[in-house]
């Protein structure tokens, strides 16, 4: 019964991430600027790891023992994409475009090489999964702390009732990671289920903010179109 619940949970988490990607890919589709690829790639990889987790609950060790390590590594790269995106967002696009293109290429190549190495290394050579899980979750938590600080600073510099939700969502994502660390070290079931619930809350906030942003942009475009059509109609 537990496996079925986790499969459903991970599938819903993946769906939430992929809906986020649908909203976040629109700026890149409109402008063609590669600097807008970081967020959809980050949340896309997160969604992929949640979908992969659901698959592993259905078919454990499909890729051998390495299966458990694959999702950890991909999730860490997902947070690296998000961190680098926010880091470069404060720099002028004209000055940082080349460096950003190099960074995103290095991250993608690094991810592919790491996954190939994991699949090729014998399972007996791999380090303890629990130990590796702790290190990677600590790394993820450090990335999330940076994301919280960055988005909170942006909100303070330009206060807006809408933008305060973004650091809150990252804070919840950080609390979820911290709760999972407690569960790994202390085997606390409360921390484990709290982490799962908080993850959903975080993704729901991201989805709410993305939808509101997209809706406001579409509404603004519609109003502008109406404003341009009215003078034409008055001339008829």
pLDDT in tens, the chain (236 residues): 777 888 889 999 999 999 999 988 887 777 767 777 888 999 999 999 999 988 888 777 666 677 888 889 999 999 999 999 898 887 776 767 888 889 999 999 999 999 998 888 887 888 888 889 999 999 999 999 999 999 999 888 888 777 788 999 999 999 999 999 999 888 888 888 899 999 999 999 999 888 887 776 666 655 554 444 333 333 33
Domain shared by 133 and 122, yes or no? no
Q: Is residue 205 part of a domain?
A: yes
Rounded Cα gap, residues 142 and 83, in angstroms: 10
Do residues 73 and 137 both lie within one domain?
A: no
Q: What is the pLDDT of residue 125?
A: 82
Q: Which of 126, 144, 165 is the last residue of a domain?
A: 126
* 63 and 80 fall within a common domain: yes
- Work out the burial of residue 79: count CB atoms within 10 Å of its CB; fewer than 13 is exposed, 13-18 middle, 19 or more buried: buried
* 56 falls within a domain: yes
* CB 200, CB 13: distance < 8 Å: yes
End of a domain among 68, 92, 126?
Answer: 126
Cut 0.95: pTM above it? no
pLDDT of residue 221: 59
Domain, as residue range, for 11: 1-126
Question: For residue 228, what pLDDT is reported?
Answer: 41
Backbone angles phi, psi at 15, to 5 degrees: -60, -45
Mark which of 94, 126, 158 sits at the end of a domain.
126
Residue 191 has which token pair? Answer: 């921390």
Q: Kindly state whether residues 119 and 22 are assigned to the same domain.
A: yes
pLDDT on residue 202: 94
State the pLDDT at residue 224: 52
d(CA 190, CA 182): 10
∠ CA 156-157-161, nearest 5°, is 55
């Amino acid at each position: 019964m537990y496996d079925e619940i986790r499969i459903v949970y991970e599938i819903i988490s993946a769906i939430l991430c992929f809906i986020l990607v649908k909203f976040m890919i629109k700026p890149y589709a409109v402008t063609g600027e590669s600097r807008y690829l970081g967020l959809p790639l980050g949340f896309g990889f997160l969604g992929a790891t949640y979908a992969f987790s659901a698959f592993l609950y259905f078919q454990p060790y499909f890729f051998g023992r390495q299966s458990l390590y694959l999702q950890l590594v991909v999730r860490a790269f997902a947070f690296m994409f998000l961190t680098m995106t926010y880091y470069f967002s404060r720099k002028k696009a004209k000055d940082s475009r080349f460096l950003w293109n190099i960074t995103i290429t290095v991250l993608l190549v690094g991810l592919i090489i790491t996954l190939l190495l994991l699949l090729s290394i014998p399972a007996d050579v791999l380090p303890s999964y629990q130990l590796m899980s702790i290190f990677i979750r600590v790394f993820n938590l450090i990335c999330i702390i940076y994301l919280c600080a960055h988005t909170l600073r942006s909100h303070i510099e330009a206060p807006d009732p809408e933008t305060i939700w973004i650091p809150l969502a990252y804070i919840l994502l950080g609390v979820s990671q911290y709760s999972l660390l407690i569960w790994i070290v202390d085997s606390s079931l409360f921390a484990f289920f709290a982490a799962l619930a908080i993850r959903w809350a975080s993704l729901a906030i991201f989805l709410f903010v993305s939808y509101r942003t997209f809706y406001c942009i579409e509404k603004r475009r519609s109003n502008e179109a109406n404003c341009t059509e009215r003078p034409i109609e008055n001339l008829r």
